[in-house]
């Protein structure tokens, strides 16, 4: 399993939010490149970049994303946040992202998702943001009234690059992961599963690895020093 530092972008800065609430910003690194350089220096090679402003329709951090992706050759980036049309999918992949992450439109428009997955096989990752068991959309502000199991079932036939499953109810709270949810997702899907939300300890990471997760996205615990980033990189980078 790979440990993946999150680089969440807001107003050009790298931030960490508690519980996905835009009113609860706990960490801010003014230059996202500083965050990337720090995690690189410890040995991390894969990064998850999210444009929070685009996710809420409040702007774009494309310039910051371009700087991150062009910084060093050979790194792996998954890039998402507000990717809701074909042009944005094409732009993200053309900018050097290894994978493009689609959430809201992927959940709401299966025909479009199928077209994107067929055009870019193995490079589209679907973000299933889960609150309790309900998949939520539009920057976690809207419910879909769909159970995570139903959503996963609909995604099974598609040639995806993976599933990014975020336990929204655990996000940024450093209270541990929703292990039963992640175990269920891994069991029920043939796609690589990236787990996100609540990763707090090395034991959380080991439990996700034992569950069969392909990757674990880590945010708050790394940025606050709750997790020993060097130790995480040694074991999981």
Do residues 127 and 101 make contact, with C-beta atoms less than 8 angstroms apart?
A: yes
DSSP code at position 237: -
Do residues 53 and 11 make contact, with C-beta atoms less than 8 angstroms apart?
A: yes
Whole-angstrom Cα distance, residue 203 to residue 209?
A: 10
Q: Is 43 left (phi over 0), alpha (psi -120 to 50) or beta?
A: left
Strands 13-17 and 2-10, how do they pair? Answer: antiparallel
How far, CA to CA in Å, does 150 sit from each of 58, 113, 176? Answer: 30, 16, 25
Active centre residues (catalytic): 8, 129
Whole-angstrom Cα distance, residue 172 to residue 115?
A: 33
How far, CA to CA in Å, does 142 sit from each of 47, 88, 168? Answer: 26, 21, 12
DSSP code at position 168: G
Across-strand partners of 80?
A: 50, 101
CA 2 to chain CA centroid, Å, is: 13
């Amino acid at each position: 399993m790979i440990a993946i530092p999150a680089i969440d972008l807001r107003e050009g800065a790298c931030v960490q939010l508690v519980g996905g609430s835009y009113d609860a910003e706990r960490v801010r690194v003014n230059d996202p490149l500083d965050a990337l350089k720090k995690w690189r220096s410890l040995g991390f090679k894969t990064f998850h970049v999210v444009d929070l402003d685009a996710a809420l329709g409040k702007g774009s951090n494309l310039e910051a994303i371009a700087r991150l992706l062009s910084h060093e050759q050979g790194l792996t980036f998954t890039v998402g946040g507000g990717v809701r049309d074909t042009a944005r999918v094409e732009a993200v992949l053309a900018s050097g992202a290894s994978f493009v992450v689609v959430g809201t439109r992927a959940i709401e428009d299966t025909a479009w998702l199928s077209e994107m997955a067929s055009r870019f096989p193995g490079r589209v990752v679907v973000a299933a943001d889960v609150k309790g068991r309900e998949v939520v959309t539009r920057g976690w502000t809207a419910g879909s009234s769909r159970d995570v199991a139903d959503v996963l079932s609909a995604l099974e036939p598609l040639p995806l690059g993976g599933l990014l499953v975020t336990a929204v109810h655990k996000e940024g709270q450093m209270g541990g992961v929703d292990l039963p949810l992640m175990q269920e997702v891994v069991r029920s899907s043939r796609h690589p599963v990236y787990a996100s939300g609540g990763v707090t300890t090395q034991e959380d990471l080991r439990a996700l690895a034992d569950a069969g997760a392909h990757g674990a996205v880590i945010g708050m615990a790394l940025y606050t020093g709750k997790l020993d980033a060097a130790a995480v990189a040694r074991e999981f980078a």
